[in-house]
Structure 1
């Protein structure tokens, strides 16, 4: 209500149907609660699926939840589309932003970054999926169509999906290895790596999405979720890589009493195609709630010793995996 947005984009994990925490396998209920809320607010909204939205053991799969969001009669403000059937994932679609002359001033690319791979059907091994090759090809075709529609001018775009690409990890470690100073390729913009040991959970696979983004020259920023306590933004090879804020109350033990990560990422797109991004934490006086706000801890969630120990382990794993990938 305070931000009065034109569009709300959620980068995944609206549902968390892990029974020993959530007490249910029903992953449609939280989707319905959120959809009903947005319709009550009268705000346009859309979703990119996260790994938890549809678990192997949850009641509904991606196709079914996609059908639920696609009910325009019930949810007229929802801009979600299931996307082409011959492209991997559910929810690969494009939202065009036009001015009064009908010219495309921006577009939002939504992608499904999948869930789990390599036999990790329950997600307990953290073997995450990523955007696949045919999705990259689809993205390229959409940018080419937009360029044709825009009289040969490549329109700017922003991209949204859940699981970070490997380049987010590459950028972070290049920045860290340089003493947390900018390099020729990486510049820190804002935010914090709040996961234990600055963990950045990505897939081990890479099908060239980031390289295609650089090649086409349309997408200026990539927004992602997944790592609930990370909210930092880096520029990498001229592309903005941004974590958003979280509204998580469930997945991490005790996270309901921690508030430094909770809020929204406000993106302002201008008619000339430029944009700005800023983090807005929920626990500000300007956000007046109908209910009493939770008494939360705004300090560091983990001790410095825990962070350092985990950081050392994470860094070793990163360099081992990078060396393996290069071989």
Structure 2
């Protein structure tokens, strides 16, 4: 299914030459966690994924914006997370600027991780330049690390001056230009990212969830699962560099939420860790599943989650 999507990339390339950009330096940031104050001891997170904004003025892009607004209004969310592939277009910087404006208009804290298509035509720095004067965005480039990508950071959820939960965000990066069967075609977390996670989670006193775009290899071949598994396979990260083992060993992060495979929204538990896809949210992207999002709720360290469909939130 993903291979047939390539024609769309070439079509977009043909309509614009704006992809010819000069590489710019990334301004790396500190490693301090964000503190997000919540109004109750029940944390509610909305995951949306794979928006694939392409034109900005198209009806399908507007449908994606409308869905995001309807999902956001369906509950009292403390945080909205976009798990990658926000854009797939030569016009990605302007589309990202429009997405930021839309997300800010919701007046709900939000964040994102990059997917494997966000920088298809434009350098990351051109996308990051669009982030200006935001009031609700919780995102930082994070510290520079070897093959670490951009946007590795942590959010602390604060209730009554106490940290009650954490969320980790990692960049699983993009397709690999040169790859072997052993390494696979998609990016993966580097050992430096795994070490960064281990250093942070080792001091946590409460539990956490993790968000990234490309699924870990532990998503492959679940024996039993809840939800939809309609892709021909799991298009997982190219190498297992030990992130899941670090999660199990530290016993603090209880779930990993990903996007990437548009025809999957399944979830299952492996070694006491929930592995879950989001529900595809973008109308310009491939796949015939009804669009929607994933509701994530944590109370007293107990996590529950389910898919929320467009038909359930539209007026």
Q: Is the structural similarity TM-score above 0.5?
A: yes
Do residues 282 (structure 1) and 310 (structure 2) align?
A: yes
Within the candidate set 147, 166, 169, 2:220 is matched to 169
Within the candidate set 257, 263, 274, 2:292 is matched to 263
Contact between 2:84 and 2:213, CA under 8 Å: does it hold in 1?
Answer: yes
Tell me the CA shift for residue 86 of structure 1. 2.8
Rate the CA distance shift 1:63–1:140 in 2: closer, same or farther, 3 A.
Answer: farther
Contact between 2:263 and 2:289, CA under 8 Å: does it hold in 1?
Answer: no
Counterpart CA distance in 2 for 1:66 and 1:136 is 24
* Superposition RMSD in Å: 1.9
Within the candidate set 93, 103, 122, 2:162 is matched to 103
Do residues 218 (structure 1) and 247 (structure 2) align?
A: no
Counterpart CA distance in 2 for 1:97 and 1:167 is 27
For 1:302-313, list aligned pairs within 5 A: none
Counterpart CA distance in 2 for 1:3 and 1:155 is 25
Within the candidate set 84, 88, 95, 1:12 is matched to 84
Larger strand percent: 2
Match of 2:199 in 1: 141
Tell me the CA shift for residue 168 of structure 1. 0.5
Contact between 1:228 and 1:248, CA under 8 Å: does it hold in 2?
Answer: no
Counterpart CA distance in 1 for 2:175 and 2:92 is 17
Match of 1:43 in 2: 108
Unaligned 5+ segments in structure 1 are 18-24, 121-125, 148-153, 176-181, 183-187, 289-327
3-state DSSP of counterpart to 1:139: helix
Counterpart CA distance in 2 for 1:94 and 1:48 is 12
Compute the TM-score of the two structures, normalised by the length of structure 2.
Answer: 0.72
Match of 2:45 in 1: none
3-state DSSP of counterpart to 1:13: coil
* Cα distance per residue 1:64-89 (max 9 Å; x no partner): 423433x3xx2110001110023511
Contact between 2:145 and 2:193, CA under 8 Å: does it hold in 1?
Answer: no
Larger helix percent: 1
Aligned length: 239
Tell me the CA shift for residue 118 of structure 1. 4.8
3-state DSSP of counterpart to 2:311: coil
Segments ≥4 residues shifted beyond 6 Å:
none
For 1:174-185, list aligned pairs within 5 A: 175=223, 182=224
3-state DSSP of counterpart to 1:68: coil
Tell me the CA shift for residue 259 of structure 1. 4.2
Unaligned 5+ segments in structure 2 are 1-72
Counterpart CA distance in 2 for 1:94 and 1:31 is 22
Match of 2:58 in 1: none
Within the candidate set 207, 211, 230, 1:160 is matched to 211
Contact between 1:63 and 1:90, CA under 8 Å: does it hold in 2?
Answer: no
Within the candidate set 66, 89, 95, 2:149 is matched to 89
Match of 2:187 in 1: 129
